[in-house]
Chain A
Amino acid sequence: MSDRRALREEADRLGLYFEDSDLDRIATLLDQTRESVQALGPQPTEWIEPGYVFTPTPAAARDAEPAG
């Protein structure tokens, strides 16, 4: 469970304005998101190259053969 006091301390450190109700909702959002990520199971064991920046490669599109 996300710690509201820790969230407040971090928000203050970052100079961000949040009402208490904002942090309550943010804590819920963080918990829900982390629960969803946990549900994926074990972390990937395969090494994914660092510095990854997504862009679908034009070459992949160009080289793809129609399935039909």
Chain B
Amino acid sequence: MSELHELTIAQAGALIQARRLSPVDLVRALLDRLDRYDGLYRTHITVAADQALEAAATAEQEIADGHSRGPLHGIPVSFKDNIWTRGVRTTAHSKTMRDFVPEDDATHVARLRAAGMVLVGKTNTTEFATGDMVEFGDVPHPYDPAMFAGSSSGGSASAVAAGFAIATTGTDTAGSIRFPASSCGIVGVKPTYGRVSRFGVVPLSWTLDSVGPMTRTVRDAALMLGPMAGRDGHDPHTADVPVPDFTAALTDRLDGVVLGIPEEHYFENLEPAVDAAIQVALSELAALGAAIRPISIPMIGKLAGIGSVIVECEAFALHADRLRRLGRDYGPKARRQIGSGAFYSGAEFLYALQVRELFNRELAAAFAGIDALVMPTLPHTAYSREVQRSGPPDTSWGTRQFNLSGYPAMTIPCGFDPSGYPIGMQIAGRPFDEATMFRVGHAYEQVTPWHEQRPTLQEG
């Protein structure tokens, strides 16, 4: 058996169901590891140790009594700290919410608890998923603490990579799941807009925010997304569409699958190691039986401006009252990013929505001949924490396209650069067809070793 902190959901779940692994022992292993290392890595803002041990003991007893709730029963999970957790502090990494303890769970938290998952803690993020990391510190990279893990779900990504969590959830408005997941070498999923309720998530942009799983394997992500998904009366944007068993689509071959490769944007100015890793990955996908088809989507690299207008206007609309009352207590970056939305004209906002619609039509036309798109998640690998402070690159370079369109997209690890930092490959599917996206990623994982790599941690 692997070390307990290295298990996947599927592995741990099978052992727990067979009563060969105690959920209490699994939680205790993670708590010990957090205690030993997380002073340096700062993946968690809050650890709910007593609650976790109690919930794990309850899960163990339920399974012993023959009342299994399924493959997630007894599996530990941590949630990004902009996600409400009943009775557990939820700060959104903001001084203005430093002592906020929700009375309710976010809908997806409640659903995962109902499936038997055990809440261990709350993971570090940027302030309101857009600002700095001042109140609780930033998130060093699990492969090199001088580097930055990524944002805004950086704590969630690093915790999974470093073995502080078996799985986490994050939020993604322009790439906040996929950027840190790619940087840390794990799987990060942004589901279709409307697939997972945002009720109980501190909002940033109501037409762009998504919630998704962050895991070590595609199978684990498929296992988690099912219980998280579905219509929720508390979030009117959730869609009333069937939620399939996402694991049922997982196969070892890709015969009959057509993968589109964008001709524009995604293969321009890549770091050489990223370019090389993606080219090898495309060869491997072809060897698995997929047809690879170049496809033109001319607007796909031209959306940074309209993306910013939409995010900042919606964020300001959501935060305006709080900014008036508490603006002095916002960190400078959050105050500036969110506050800039006050200065766009109505015409600028509506123009951005028009361009968004034109892009969506272009993307839908492109998908008429393909089952999924494959491309790099980022043009680069991890960069330093100093660069993050002084002026980071455009980390939504390859991801905002699928928030603006609402299409599902995920990143999976596909290699390492010469310095030992992970490289991510992004796979995007049709609306509400996460199953095909998972199928492509899972088949790739079966013939590659990248998802099995783990960092060697330093003690703080």
Contacts and interface: CB of A to CB of B under 8 A. Distances in A.
Nearest to B194: A55
Contacts of B19: none
B339 A44 contact: no
Interface stretch (B52-60, B217-225, B320-328, B411-419): B320-328
B317 to A, nearest CB: 12
Interface in B320-355: 320, 323-324, 327-328, 332, 335-337, 339-340, 342-344, 348, 351-355
A26 B305 contact: no
Contacts, number: 139
Given A29-B336, A30-B343, A55-B237, A46 B358 contact: yes
Interface string A31-65: 00111111110011010100011111110111010
B327 A58 contact: no
B431 interface: yes
Given A37-B309, A67-B371, A68-B291, A21 B332 contact: yes
Contacts of A56: 192-194, 239, 405-407, 431-432
Nearest to B405: A56
Contacts of B344: 30
Interface string B443-460: 000000000000000000
Contacts of B436: 66
Contacts of A46: 358
Given A18-B335, A29-B340, A56-B192, A61 B431 contact: yes
B354 A48 contact: yes
A66 B305 contact: no
B305 A37 contact: yes
A14 B169 CA distance: 36
Given A54-B207, A56-B407, A61-B432, A16 B343 contact: no
B339 A67 contact: no
B358 A48 contact: yes
A16 B336 contact: no
A14 B371 CA distance: 48
Contacts of A19: 332
B118 interface: no
A64 B430 contact: yes
Interface string B11-50: 0000000000000000000000000000000000000000
B258 interface: yes
B5 interface: no
B240 A58 contact: yes
B256 interface: yes
Contacts of B337: 29
17 contacts: A10-B342, A10-B343, A15-B324, A16-B324, A17-B327, A17-B328, A18-B335, A22-B332, A29-B340, A46-B358, A48-B358, A52-B354, A56-B406, A58-B239, A61-B432, A62-B241, A64-B430
Given A56-B407, A62-B241, 14 more contacts: A2-B343, A11-B339, A14-B342, A22-B332, A26-B340, A30-B343, A37-B352, A40-B355, A55-B193, A55-B194, A60-B364, A60-B431, A61-B432, A66-B371
Interface of A: 2, 7, 10-11, 14-19, 21-22, 25-26, 29-30, 33-40, 43-44, 46, 48, 52-58, 60-62, 64, 66-68
